[in-house]
Structure 1
Amino acid sequence: MSRTDDISNLFSRFGATSDSYHEFDSQFEYPDTPPAQVKSPVSHDVTAPVLAALPPVAPVSVALAKLEDQAPLMSTADVATPLRNLLAEVALARQAETQALQAQLRTPQCKARVVALVSAKGGVGKTTLAASLASSMRLEGGKTLAIDLDPQNALHHHLGVESGVTGMGSTDWGSHLQQGFNDVQVLPYGVLSDEQHCALEREMSQDRHWLARQLERMELGIHDLVIVDTPSGRSAYLQQALDVADQVLIVTAADAASFIALEHTDRLLGADVARSYVVNQFQPDRDLSRDMLEVLKRRLGAQLLSVIEQDHAFGEALAYGRNPLAAPVRSAGGEGVLLLGEQLKAALQTPRVAELSAP
């Protein structure tokens, strides 16, 4: 049967004729059977699984470059290092971290005697008195160190030290000490940037024994004396000074404002801090000053250690860069400072509790 008869029969079965049927020739020849799939030979290359896992859209060269850019977890040298050596390194690192933590928790020991000068308000001559005590006091066989913890950075001016020197910003205090009057060693607060100032106060707030650690590193002896000047009012500097002080000397004046500030001073220090008072800048020729001194004596009792008269020679000495206590004829104010120094030295002769309990 021909192909035409097959078409006519097909149209007849559907009730139609093949008169309108036209056949078009196709330019594409369809194969009778699909081509056989050719399998690729199995490669024994170790990189085949890596390449097969790469995304099909990424060229092989790009994918390999990305793999090479990734840093390996261990270098070839590390892989070749014996495991026991690697474990030893980890153990040493852990030991160093533990020792650093223990050192942070350990209470540092400062052998030197420390006197901290404190005031609840400014304008009472605290820094001038601190400088005068530092230049006139020395324990037998030791040296005297004056430390300025006041950001106003004024103490070194009273001790004849040039401005602009490194101070609290240095990490090694021992190598940055300056020479002041009567061979006193001076550590100024220094000129710190805002960032350095904030970082310093942050360290103090995070470590309550920060100042004690600094003094311990200086390897001071039992015959050395440290005079610390602090800013007025509550501060992180004050708390650091109280932590190391053998004697806390509160500087006040014979006036109404200073008397009112005494209650604030008591709250500032707390009941556990032993303290002594010195009335500075006393004016014996004024009735109010004499009356206020009597009121202070009744208020302070045995805590009042000394009274120092007002002496304009101290202001003149600062202006001319001189030591006010070096003059052959000392004034009443100078004599008062020297007497206070002797009283403090006598108080510092008392052994500490730790020294009494030592074998």
Structure 2
Amino acid sequence: MGRADHISKLYTALGANSFIEPAVALESASAPLRRLLDQLSQGAAGALRPAELVEGPRGEVYSDPLAPKVVVVVSATGGVGRSTLVAALASGLQRQGHPALALDLDPQNALRHHLCLGGDLAGIGATSLLNQTWEALPERGFAGCRLVAFGETDLVQQQSLTRWLGQDLEFLGKRLAGLGLNGQDTVVIDLPAGSTVYLNQAMSVADVVLVVVKPDAASFRRLANMDAVLAPYLEGESAPQRFYAINQVDASHAFSQDMAEVFKLRLGDAVLGEVRRDPAFCEAPAYGLDPLDPALNSVGCQDVNALCRALKARLN
């Protein structure tokens, strides 16, 4: 049986609410997922790509062509490797000769660990609440890329910052403008999962939004929800480009590879690339190692470097 035939049977099986070898239960698949897979199996993938979206708010802070490019990395839920990928993109771009700054807009304050910047770093949370600029916040991480951490904050501080960001739609744009960046720089922003005030701020300055998904049925079900969340931001002449990265593809698991193909059929050219599951990426933070160390040249490293090249091509 050819691979295409196998994928077609997977569509049919998923749509029929059946089982896929090796014993992968899919009885929890939602009706929308079954309908999507039924349509895909009938060759209607083109009709399922992201639909025309409604007009939404869009800032004008970065109309200057000499301003940095901004990549906003989002996901519908946690657990898809979003922060790991943000750090890898920043250090990968830096290694390829494109100055990069990783910005943590997630109150969990975890991005620093992925760039070997443990410990307490001054971050945007407390600094902003003190009405101070971000000029002194960037720190150097792997490969020389810069990081602006969120910083340690308590619940009261987070609530205050959330109110502020909800009222001042130019908050992020004004503070990025104070970092002294230029047209050679790329800012890669990590966000909490779902729809938040942080997403609203980030999308006001975005050139590209990169949606991170895992090759499983749960991520596939949530595609429509992510489309709805992003819809208000993706219309108009200044709207950002939207792409998808399929993360943690397990090369040893046929179902994982087949689900990656399902995503590609669903999303078409919007898939910027895929990153294979790589133990080096899981272990690196524990040992303070750089998963993109050229000496390793792991499969994940190769895939992230390819993703960086594809991203720069779209930004240019």
TM-score (norm: length of structure 1): 0.65
The offset of 1:159, in angstroms, is 0.3
The within-5 A match list for 1:91-102 is none
Aligned equivalents of 1:288, 1:142: Cα separation in 2: 36
Structure 1 spans left out of the alignment, 5+ residues = 1-105, 350-359
- Contact 1:141–1:223 (Cα < 8 Å) also in 2: no
Count, aligned residues: 244
Query: In the alignment, which residue of structure 1 is the partner of 2:112?
Result: 156
Cα distance between partner residues in 2 of 1:260 and 1:277: 15
SS in 1 for 2:80: coil
CA 1:203–1:330: 2 relative to 1, 3 Å: same
**5+ unaligned residues in a row in structure 2: which ranges?**
1-58
- Per-residue deviation, 1:138: 3.4
The verdict on how the C-alpha distance between 1:140 and 1:213 changes in structure 2, with shifts beyond 3 A counting, is farther
**Change beyond 3 A, Cα 1:119–1:280:** same
1:218 to 179, 198, 203: 179
TM-score by length of 2: 0.74
1:143 is displaced (CA, Å) by 2.8
In 2, the alpha carbon distance for the partners of 1:161 and 1:333 equals 21
Q: Deviations over 1:259-280 (max 9, x none)?
A: 0010100001005253100100
Aligned match of 2:161 in 194, 200, 203? 200
- Residue 334 (1) aligns with residue 313 (2): no
Residues 141/303 of structure 1: CA separation in 2 closer, same or farther (3 Å cut): closer
Give, in angstroms, the shift of residue 139 of structure 1: 9.3
Change (3 A) 1:154 1:140: closer
1:133 maps to: 89
Among 286, 306, 322, which residue is 2:273 paired with? 306
Give the AA of the match of 2:214: A
1:142, 1:131 → 2: CA distance? Answer: 14
1:290-342 per-position Cα deviation (integer Å, ceiling 9, x unaligned): 22112111110111110110001011111100111114131111100000001
Aligned residue for 2:247?
280
**Could you tell me how far 1:193 is from its partner in structure 2?**
2.2
Aligned-pair CA distance for 1:219: 2.6
Structure 1 pair 190/113, CA: closer, same or farther in 2 (3 Å)?
Answer: same
**Matching of residues 69-218 of structure 1 within 5 Å:** 107-109=60-62, 111-138=67-94, 143-168=99-124, 169-170=126-127, 171-218=132-179
Pick closer, same or farther for the CA change 1:139–1:214 going to 2, 3 Å.
Answer: farther
| Counterpart-to-counterpart distance in 2, 1:120 and 1:300 | 16
2:135 is paired with a residue of what secondary structure?
helix
Of residues 328, 347, 350 in structure 1, which corresponds to 2:314? 347
Tell me which amino acid in the other structure corresponds to 2:115. Answer: L
DSSP 3-state at the match of 1:275: strand
Identity %: 40
Root-mean-square deviation (CA), in Å?
Answer: 1.8
Paired residues of 1:117 and 1:229 also in contact (CA < 8 A): yes
Could you report, residue by residue, the CA deviation over 1:245-267 in whole angstroms, capped at 9, with x for unpaired residues? 11110000100000001010000
Q: Tell whether the 8 Å contact from 1:139 to 1:225 is kept in structure 2 after alignment.
A: no
When Rg is computed on C-alpha atoms for both structures, the one with the higher figure is 1
Equivalent position SS for 1:161: coil
* CA displacement, residues 72-114 of structure 1 (integer Å, 9 cap, x when unaligned): xxxxxxxxxxxxxxxxxxxxxxxxxxxxxxxxxx953471111
- Which of the pair has the greater relative contact order for Cα pairs under 8 Å at 6+ separation? 2
Does the CA-based 8 Å contact 1:124-1:251 persist in structure 2?
Answer: yes
